[in-house]
Structure 1
């Protein structure tokens, strides 16, 4: 390539990156509006907020699908690109092609309807009345089917929507993994429930002051190394995290009788935030400074929640802080007591975000099967509560008594996030595979956790996952980090060994 051609290519790429950075900043601005709506906005602000978020979606769509963006992508793809630049172009091309297939007025309508849907969902949940949310849900299903049809009318619409959250592993991988989890976890859960093991499951019984719980949540974030200069903790009806490598916020929720649930939710959201904060700052605004979709993101939160937060080593470090906050209730609790309580397999838990590590995946499978059937047109919205309850009875042996405890408990469908749920289980599976690799590279990792030294694990994750942003596809990143293809083997071996030992199951030890 001549120097003149090289200069021209460099100028084209520079102009292209300027457009990409504007898109990124619009997206982050929309994210702050979304965070505010769920955390701080007054209840009456919805009509204006829906218009604001719709305007951002419209402008973003216009920039992403513009003739200038299309021409820049064509020019860059026709030339020679470094690996890093090729990755950026690959990611933007995928976004551009999908967005260019969808009419702008549909994008605007989806944004407005989903923004207006959240208070409708909240009211329906509070009043335990699915019928109040059903018309909105039906409209969202119709809009998302239409969205998928514009992108690819010849493919399964759910597969198209799934790729919004996990574009590279494929819905066939999700179906294969979830089917395997259902086949192997259901008998394990049954064996656990039939066990005579005497666990200290009543350690956290009673009521725990929620203000003190918030102090404890801040303690756990301090212990794990949360960067308060680039984050904050708030409460929300449904715990979530959001932001970028300069501003990664977490939320949790508190209930007087669920202190352990609030604590684990906080650790979970810390995992998301520490991934976000570990993205390269010098690449902010480009795909190289963006997280690698939801399977990888969820692997980070589930790794910190389950492999750290529910470990015996973690409680050796953190139990003194818990006793300091609740001296009257937990002064006699031992590390084993708290470890057993943190890993109890519940007999009758209906709530996903409060689920134990084992039955959690049945919650995901129920949602996955229902939303897949909704989008494919195999299930009517009005039948969701009954189908939901039937599946809970089949997979978990329990039946919700109310819509609030059943199909209204999650916020995701009010956002129009169909295809999101499978990534929770896919991420949990990946978390175990990543942690197994980290254990091979970090000597005496349990001892370090017990000493409160989380830097080696954090550094390993940053080196092998966070710093790459979207340079690699999901499957490539997994191979880079672990040396193997994505597999559920590590997860299934881990839960069978852990819960076989905990519940004294001869067939699983």
Structure 2
């Protein structure tokens, strides 16, 4: 028997009460259907021929309708009531709590709306990709209007007494109040805007040793991505690397797939994108295998997930020790002769005039996120029409970053997210804040983390994250999980201290 089979068997050899076992068996069937839908989504973005979209939309809609029916059925309600009447340990009680939350949140949703929204999301992703390639926002605007209407209908069905945007926000962040998120954003604006202004005022031009040696072909960049994944211990038997229009990660603790994209003029973009998506995969792969199909085998939230990608991208791959270890490999692939210090400076260069979020530096990235959240919310709440989004977007870019896109493909069309969901951009900044806090706690526990990175001994870092974050699944709400891992609730203090120290050093502030 394979190890994977043994791990899966452990979920059903359970000495818990019969009512609890019945509930978990019902939920596992739902989770496995959703996991299968995830593979279909991955296929649509990576390997499916363009003409397959209509059929794929129907397939995903059927799966979402079936899972919704099972989740909200009277039988599931009865099973929940029975399980809640049992004496359970903390982990099993957390499983029940999470199933109850999902059941109650979805039970008032019409099944027809669930299927319609799923099908339209699948179709809209194809329309978005074609619109971006053609720089034609007008072709995407009607799809976006329809998506907003469907998402608002869904939010109002879940909770008609609260703003639709807040209900949508809780899809990704169920346990971090939107008011706390807003406070963190204000703290970051107060710290980042003056810091970026100070950097801009220095006029310092950091080295860019990879900028003029290109163009770099896809094969060269893929080989470099594969080498960095080898350094990070990404397992070939439980993961794979592909290319998509917008990088993403899909999967579970047995099969976690990442994608990246290649720019012939910017090999560091593909490198950091690959490391970023590895961070997401590390979370998936670190979830307890014996809990596959249970809430305890699922990631907690979008923000916590993003903390893992931002940790590996920023607190590992953008550090001096990493480049002391990896610069020779990069030079070998790219035909360059950069020093570790030059490469470190290049990958941390602050470009306030950059237009593209996924290519943004570590500081201005968050201004990209803040402006997206503001535009996103105004659109959802009806204050901005779809046709007006390009102009509003451009105005926000000028306000926050001092730059205006020349095309919609560089502006309002650059991200895939609106083709699938709203109220989701916050997770990137929340994840960065948490990543800094986790990094500080890890350094306290492991000692000289820089030495481990410099030596290429990255397994202890992944193990620390697994022990302190991944293995808990959905056992704890967000602040409790953060407190378990770091000793205190989520705070922006560590992130602010981290960026002020790092970029103060780089720019001699």
- TM-score (normalised: structure 1): 0.96
Whole-angstrom CA distance in 2 between matches of 1:371 and 1:78: 42
Deviation at 1:177, TM superposition (A): 1.1
Contact 2:17–2:86, Cα closer than 8 Å, also in 1: no
Deviation at 1:23, TM superposition (A): 0.6
More off after superposition, 299-308 vs 188-197:
188-197
Segments ≥4 residues shifted beyond 6 Å? none
Whole-angstrom CA distance in 2 between matches of 1:210 and 1:122: 20
* 1:424 and 2:428 aligned: yes
| Pair 1:464–1:9, CA change in 2 (3 A) | closer
Contact 1:204–1:341, Cα closer than 8 Å, also in 2: no
Whole-angstrom CA distance in 1 between matches of 2:375 and 2:316: 32
Whole-angstrom CA distance in 1 between matches of 2:232 and 2:133: 34
Deviation at 1:202, TM superposition (A): 4.3
Map of 2:244 onto structure 1: 236
Map of 1:490 onto structure 2: 494
Whole-angstrom CA distance in 2 between matches of 1:218 and 1:359: 28
Contact 2:148–2:380, Cα closer than 8 Å, also in 1: yes
Whole-angstrom CA distance in 2 between matches of 1:127 and 1:360: 25
Deviation at 1:443, TM superposition (A): 1.7
| Alignment equivalent of 1:360, drawn from 351, 362, 365 | 365
Deviation at 1:8, TM superposition (A): 12
Q: Output aligned runs, 1:407-418, within 5 Å.
A: 407-415=412-420, 417-418=421-422
Map of 1:212 onto structure 2: 220
* 1:274 and 2:311 aligned: no
Map of 2:380 onto structure 1: 375
| Alignment equivalent of 1:406, drawn from 396, 404, 411 | 411
Map of 1:446 onto structure 2: 450
Whole-angstrom CA distance in 1 between matches of 2:266 and 2:205: 21
* 1:479 and 2:483 aligned: yes
Q: Output aligned runs, 1:6-21, within 5 Å.
A: 10-21=17-28
Whole-angstrom CA distance in 1 between matches of 2:164 and 2:271: 37
Deviation at 1:198, TM superposition (A): 4.2
Contact 2:436–2:498, Cα closer than 8 Å, also in 1: yes
Contact 1:276–1:291, Cα closer than 8 Å, also in 2: yes
Whole-angstrom CA distance in 2 between matches of 1:13 and 1:55: 28
Whole-angstrom CA distance in 1 between matches of 2:136 and 2:284: 36
| Alignment equivalent of 1:30, drawn from 34, 37, 45 | 37
Superposed CA deviations along residues 88-130 of structure 1, whole A, max 9, x for unmatched, are 0111111111110211111011001111101111111111111
Map of 2:120 onto structure 1: 113
Whole-angstrom CA distance in 1 between matches of 2:402 and 2:16: 61
Map of 2:5 onto structure 1: none
| Pair 1:108–1:183, CA change in 2 (3 A) | same
Whole-angstrom CA distance in 2 between matches of 1:463 and 1:9: 24
Q: Output aligned runs, 1:254-403, within 5 Å.
A: 254-327=262-335, 330-331=336-337, 333-403=338-408
Whole-angstrom CA distance in 2 between matches of 1:478 and 1:313: 26
Superposed CA deviations along residues 59-112 of structure 1, whole A, max 9, x for unmatched, are 000000011110111122233221111100111111111110211111011001
Superposed CA deviations along residues 209-253 of structure 1, whole A, max 9, x for unmatched, are 221110000000001110111000000000001100000011000
More off after superposition, 196-205 vs 24-33:
196-205
Map of 1:500 onto structure 2: 504
| Pair 1:375–1:196, CA change in 2 (3 A) | closer
Deviation at 1:194, TM superposition (A): 1.1
Whole-angstrom CA distance in 1 between matches of 2:305 and 2:462: 14
Contact 2:20–2:82, Cα closer than 8 Å, also in 1: no
Contact 2:19–2:86, Cα closer than 8 Å, also in 1: no
Whole-angstrom CA distance in 1 between matches of 2:86 and 2:28: 22
Please tell me the root mean square deviation across aligned C-alpha atoms, in Å: 1.2
Structure 1: state its 5+ residue gaps: 1-6
Q: How many residue pairs were aligned?
A: 495
Contact 1:197–1:504, Cα closer than 8 Å, also in 2: no
Whole-angstrom CA distance in 1 between matches of 2:489 and 2:249: 28
Whole-angstrom CA distance in 1 between matches of 2:104 and 2:380: 22
| Alignment equivalent of 1:52, drawn from 59, 66, 77 | 59
More off after superposition, 317-326 vs 353-362:
317-326
Superposed CA deviations along residues 410-435 of structure 1, whole A, max 9, x for unmatched, are 001101x1111101100000000000
- Secondary structure at the aligned position of 1:194 is classed as helix
Whole-angstrom CA distance in 2 between matches of 1:486 and 1:129: 41
- TM-score (normalised: structure 2): 0.96
Contact 2:23–2:83, Cα closer than 8 Å, also in 1: no
Structure 2: state its 5+ residue gaps: 1-13
Map of 1:226 onto structure 2: 234
Deviation at 1:475, TM superposition (A): 1.1
| Alignment equivalent of 1:460, drawn from 455, 458, 464 | 464
Contact 1:385–1:403, Cα closer than 8 Å, also in 2: yes
Contact 2:136–2:408, Cα closer than 8 Å, also in 1: yes
Whole-angstrom CA distance in 2 between matches of 1:175 and 1:146: 25
| Alignment equivalent of 1:132, drawn from 139, 145, 148 | 139
